[in-house]
Amino acid sequence: MRLELRGITKRFGSFTANDRIDLTVEPGQIHSLLGENGAGKTTLMNVLFGLLHPDEGEILIDGEPVRFANSGDAVRRGIGMVHQHFMLVPVFSVTENVVLGFEPTKSLNRVDYKRATEDIVRLSAQFNLQVDPDATVENLPVGLQQRVEILKALSRDAELLILDEPTAVLTPQETDALMAIMRSLAEAGKSILFITHKLKEVRAVADVITVIRNGRVVGSAEPTATEGELASLMVGRDVELTVEKSAFSPGENVFEIRDLVVRDDRGLVKVNGVSLDVRAGEIMALAGVQGNGQTELVEAIAGMRHVESGTILLNGRDVTNKTPREVLDAGLGHIPEDRQRDGLVLSMSVADNLVLNTPRRAPFARRGTRNLAAVHDNAQKQVRDFDIRTTSVDEPVASLSGGNQQKVIVARELSRPLAFLMASQPTRGLDVGSIEYVHRQMVNHRNQGNAALIVSSELDEVLALGDRIAVMFDGRISGIVDPTTSREAIGLLMAGTAGATDE
Amino acid sequence: MSVIESTAAVVSNRRVRVIAVMMGVLGVFSLIVFAVGSPSVAHSSFLFNPVNLSESAPWHVGTLTLNSRLADLVLALIMIGLAVETYVRRPARGVMVRFGGVAVLFLLTLLIWAARTPGPSPVSFVNLTALLIGSSEVTMVLVFGSLSGVMCERSGVVNIAIEGQFIGGAFVGSMLASTTHNFFYAAIGGALIGGAIGWILAFFALRYLSDQIIVGVVLVTMLGSLSSYLNLQVFTPFPQYNTGNLAPNLAIPLLSKIPVLGPVLFNQSGFFYLMLVLIGVISFALFKTRYGLHVRAVGEHPRAAATVGIDVVRVRYINVILGGAIAGIGGVAFMASQGQFQPNYTSGLGYIALAAMIFGRWRPSGAVVASVIFGLSVYLSYTLTSYQVPVSLYILQMFPYLITIAVVAGLIGRVRAPAADGVAYQHD
Ligand SMILES: Nc1ncnc2c1ncn2[C@@H]1O[C@H](COP(=O)(O)OP(=O)(O)OP(=O)(O)O)[C@@H](O)[C@H]1O
Ligand SMILES: [Mg+2]
DSSP string for B196-261: HHHHHHHIIIIIS---HHHHHHHHHHHHHHHHHHHIIIIITT-GGGGSS-PPPPEEPTTGGGSTTT
Q: Where does the pLDDT of residue B389 fall: very low under 50, low under 70, confident under 90, or very high at 90 and above?
A: low
- Give φ, ψ of B249 to 5 degrees: -80, 140
* B58-68 pLDDT tens trace: 555 677 888 88
Atom of ligand 1 nearest to the CA of A403: 26
A353 shares its domain with A310: no
Q: Are B152 and B143 contacting, i.e. CB atoms less than 8 angstroms apart? A: no
In sequence order, the 6+-apart residues with CB closer than 8 A to the CB of A97 are: A88, A89, A137, A148, A152
**Residue A237 alpha carbon to ligand 1 centre in Å:** 21
User: Looking at CA atoms only, how far is residue A169 from chain B in angstroms?
Assistant: 14
Segments forming the whole domain that contains residue A32: 3-225
**Residue A399 alpha carbon to ligand 1 centre in Å:** 6
A185 shares its domain with A116: yes
Closest-CA residue to A89 (of B296, B3, B4, B206) = B296
Ligand 1 contact, A278 CB (< 6 A): no
Q: Are A274 and A280 contacting, i.e. CB atoms less than 8 angstroms apart? A: no
> What is the model's pLDDT at position B60?
59
**Would you give the DSSP letter of residue B289?**
B
**Residue A136 alpha carbon to ligand 2 centre in Å:** 26
A406 shares its domain with A421: no
Q: Is residue A233 part of a domain?
A: no
A288 shares its domain with A385: no
Cβ-based burial of A268 (10 A; exposed 0-12, middle 13-18, buried ≥19): exposed
- Picking from A368, A393, A416, the residue at the C-terminal end of a domain is A416
> Is B303–A87 a contact, with Cβ atoms under 8 angstroms apart?
yes
> What is the model's pLDDT at position B379?
87
- Return the percent helix, strand and coil in chain B, to nearest 5: 70, 5, 25
A357 shares its domain with A490: no
Per mean pLDDT, which range of A328-342, A452-466, B398-412 is the poorest?
B398-412
Q: Where are the domains of chain B?
A: 130-375
CA distance A178 to A199: 16
In sequence order, the 6+-apart residues with CB closer than 8 A to the CB of A501 are: none
Q: Is the pLDDT of residue A229 over 60?
A: yes
Q: Is the pLDDT of residue B247 over 90?
A: no
| Residue of chain A whose Cα is closest to the Cα of B298 | A89
Q: Is residue A230 part of a domain?
A: no
CA distance B389 to B351: 27
Ligand 1 contact, A390 CB (< 6 A): yes
Per mean pLDDT, which range of A25-34, A184-193, B16-25 is the poorest?
B16-25
3-class secondary-structure state, position A315: coil
Q: Are A196 and A31 contacting, i.e. CB atoms less than 8 angstroms apart? A: no
Q: Is residue A90 part of a domain?
A: yes
3-class secondary-structure state, position B341: coil
CA distance A325 to A338: 19
A462 shares its domain with A395: no
CA distance A60 to A289: 42
Q: Is residue A343 part of a domain?
A: no
Cβ-based burial of A183 (10 A; exposed 0-12, middle 13-18, buried ≥19): middle
Contact residues, B window 295-324, toward A, CB-based 8 Å cutoff: 296-297, 300-301, 303-311
Neighbours of A474 (CB within 10 A): 15
Q: Where does the pLDDT of residue B241 fall: very low under 50, low under 70, confident under 90, or very high at 90 and above?
A: confident
Q: Where does the pLDDT of residue A502 fall: very low under 50, low under 70, confident under 90, or very high at 90 and above?
A: very low
Q: Is the pLDDT of residue A316 over 80?
A: yes
| Percentage above 90 pLDDT, chain B | 42
Most A CBs within 10 Å: which of B155, B284, B295, B307, as the mutation test of the A interface? B307
> Is B307–A71 a contact, with Cβ atoms under 8 angstroms apart?
yes
Q: Is the pLDDT of residue B8 over 50?
A: no
Q: Are A221 and A208 contacting, i.e. CB atoms less than 8 angstroms apart? A: no
| Residue of chain A whose Cα is closest to the Cα of B304 | A87
A157 shares its domain with A46: yes
Per mean pLDDT, which range of A106-110, A337-341, B53-57, B149-153 is the poorest?
B53-57
* A48-60 pLDDT tens trace: 999 999 999 999 9
Q: Is residue A40 part of a domain?
A: yes
B254 or B427: which leads in pLDDT: B254
Q: Chain A residues contacting B, CB < 8 Å? A: 12, 46, 49, 51-52, 70-73, 75, 81, 83, 86-92, 96, 100-103, 105, 108-111, 138-139, 141, 264-265, 295-296, 299, 302, 304-306, 336, 338, 341-342
Q: Is the pLDDT of residue A277 over 50?
A: yes
> What is the model's pLDDT at position A500?
42
What's this model's pTM, rounded to 2 decimal places?
Answer: 0.83
Q: Is residue A340 part of a domain?
A: no
* A91-139 pLDDT tens trace: 999 999 999 999 999 988 999 999 999 999 998 888 878 889 999 998 8
Instruction: From chain A, pick out residues whose CB is under 8 angstroms from the CB of B9.
Output: 265, 305-306
What mean pLDDT comes out for the span A445-473?
91
> Length of chain B, please?
428
CA distance B282 to B331: 19
Residue nearest (by alpha carbon) to ligand 1 atom 31: A400
A305 shares its domain with A371: no
A158 shares its domain with A291: no
> What is the model's pLDDT at position A146?
85
Q: Is the pLDDT of residue B22 over 50?
A: yes
Architecture of domain B130-375: Orthogonal Bundle (1.10)
Q: Is the pLDDT of residue B4 over 80?
A: no
Domain count, chain A: 3
Ligand 1 contact, A43 CB (< 6 A): yes
| Residue of chain A whose Cα is closest to the Cα of B297 | A89
Q: Are B278 and B326 contacting, i.e. CB atoms less than 8 angstroms apart? A: yes
Closest-CA residue to B23 (of B76, B59, B93) = B76
A454 or B122: which leads in pLDDT: A454
* A327-366 pLDDT tens trace: 998 899 999 988 888 889 988 999 999 998 887 777 888 8
In sequence order, the 6+-apart residues with CB closer than 8 A to the CB of B331 are: B141, B144, B165, B166, B167, B168, B169, B170, B171, B173, B190, B194, B346
| Percentage above 90 pLDDT, chain A | 55
What mean pLDDT comes out for the span B15-39?
86
A436 shares its domain with A484: yes
CATH number for the domain harbouring residue A55: 3.40.50.300
Q: Where does the pLDDT of residue A314 fall: very low under 50, low under 70, confident under 90, or very high at 90 and above?
A: very high
Q: Are A420 and A314 contacting, i.e. CB atoms less than 8 angstroms apart? A: yes
> Is B300–A89 a contact, with Cβ atoms under 8 angstroms apart?
yes
B147 or A250: which leads in pLDDT: B147
Q: Where does the pLDDT of residue B47 fall: very low under 50, low under 70, confident under 90, or very high at 90 and above?
A: confident
What mean pLDDT comes out for the span A64-71?
91
Q: Are A180 and A205 contacting, i.e. CB atoms less than 8 angstroms apart? A: no
> Is B3–A91 a contact, with Cβ atoms under 8 angstroms apart?
no
State which amino acid sits at residue A192. Answer: I
A267 shares its domain with A395: no
Closest-CA residue to B267 (of B365, B132, B177) = B132
Q: Is the pLDDT of residue B10 over 70?
A: no
Q: Is residue A342 part of a domain?
A: no
* A365-418 pLDDT tens trace: 888 888 889 999 999 999 998 889 998 999 999 999 888 999 999 999 988 888
Q: Is the pLDDT of residue B147 over 90?
A: yes
A11 shares its domain with A142: yes
- Picking from A367, A387, A416, the residue at the C-terminal end of a domain is A416
Angle at A243 between CA A241 and CA A246, to 5 degrees: 165
Q: Is residue A339 part of a domain?
A: no
* A146-182 pLDDT tens trace: 889 988 988 888 899 999 998 887 777 778 888 988 9
- Picking from A225, A251, A282, the residue at the C-terminal end of a domain is A225
> What is the model's pLDDT at position B7?
38
Ligand 1 contact, A292 CB (< 6 A): no
What mean pLDDT comes out for the span B83-94?
84
Contact residues, B window 164-203, toward A, CB-based 8 Å cutoff: none
Residue nearest (by alpha carbon) to ligand 1 atom 9: A399
Instruction: From chain B, pick out residues whose CB is under 8 angstroms from the CB of A304.
Output: 3, 6-7
